[in-house]
Structure formats: C-alpha cells, structure tokens
Amino acid sequence: MPASPIEGNAAGLPVVVMASANPDKVAEIALLMEDVVDIAPRPPEVPDVIEDADTLEGNARLKAVAISSATGRAAIADDTGLEIDHIDGAPGVYTARFAGEHATYADNVAKALEVLDGVPKAGRTARFRTVALLSRPDGSELVAHGVVEGTIAIEPRGESGFGYDPIFIPADSGGLTFAEMSADAKHRISHRGRAFRALRELL
C-alpha cells in the first residue's frame, strides 16, 4: 500500500510536526531540514511521551507515532545515544538522564567525566548515534541513522551547542569538541546531521 502523502504548505513544502519540545534539538533539526519540510511545533497541549523503549529507534518511534496520532499529521522525532566504550556502551538510551531522571546538561557532563576519571585518552573512545524517524498517520514511516566516532575530553571546552557537546571530540574535527565548532561545521560531521541528511534523501 503506498504511503499517504504529507500535507503541504502554501509553498509546496511538506508540513511535519516536531515531536521534541527541546528547543536546542528543535533548532538543530529545523536547520538540517530547511527547504525540505516545513516544521510545525509540537502542540503545547500534547503531553510528554514516556520513552521506555530499549533502543534508540524504539524511542524515536514512540515519540513520532504519539505526536502523529495526536495531531493527525506526519511527525518527526529522533533519539540520540552517547556510547562510551569504557563503560560497555553506556549510557546509550539513558543518555539524557545519565546522571538521574531530572539531570541537567551539566549534571550529565559531570557524570561522564566522573566515570572516565583517570582513564587515558586511548581508553576514552565513544560515539554518538542518532535515529531520525518520520511517522505518518497511516502508520507508514521513514527511518534514518547517523553515527560519529570520537573521544571524551578530559574537561569541558567551548561555549556552543548543548548536551555533551563540550566534552565530545569527533574524530574528524581536528581535536575540537562539538562546543568549539561553528554550527555549520558541527552539522557537517555530527550524528544528528548525518541522520537527518539521510532522512532528507528518503523524503
């Protein structure tokens, strides 16, 4: 059965609802999907979705399906995990709450540095993994993935970005953390940039 069309705006761009209410993430995704879709914000009356799947793709699907069902429109969601090799790939699906259920960005960064305290550079390897998912009201979906390898810095560096950006050094950055890079430079090599470029191609 063919996928149902996505409702378009006056300029002919498909309109999709953003499942995330995180303003930092929404801003990044809107930039990455510019000129491909017209992103509508998640309605404020739609409650938060409980992300209790055991995979990134599962959590992205939970969010996108819930928002699509609530709005009757196609919805975009993503889920991202930081995988630190020294602790067997954790925090993974618990990345946003690594330091606790209501952890701040600073709390999570501090937790990551704590578990790697004293670990030399060679043992601080990690990767970010993003799953981007678009769900349509008819139940059809598009799924894309993005991964970036890197290491965890000894201490936070840089003022840009959000989340773990001050301590994640992507392999292709010349030694800069994400937080030390411009937005454009980050998006060219980031996990989220790669996932949403792949989703753009699928669209």
Query: Which residues are catalytic, by number?
Result: 79
Tell me if the bond preceding 2 is cis, omega within 30° of 0.
no
Residues near 172 by beta carbon (within 8 Å), at least 6 away in sequence: 148, 189
Residues near 106 by beta carbon (within 8 Å), at least 6 away in sequence: none
Structure tokens belonging to residue 21? 């209410």
Helix axes 191-202, 23-32, angle to 10 degrees: 50
The dihedrals phi and psi of 182, each to the nearest 5 degrees, come to -70, 160
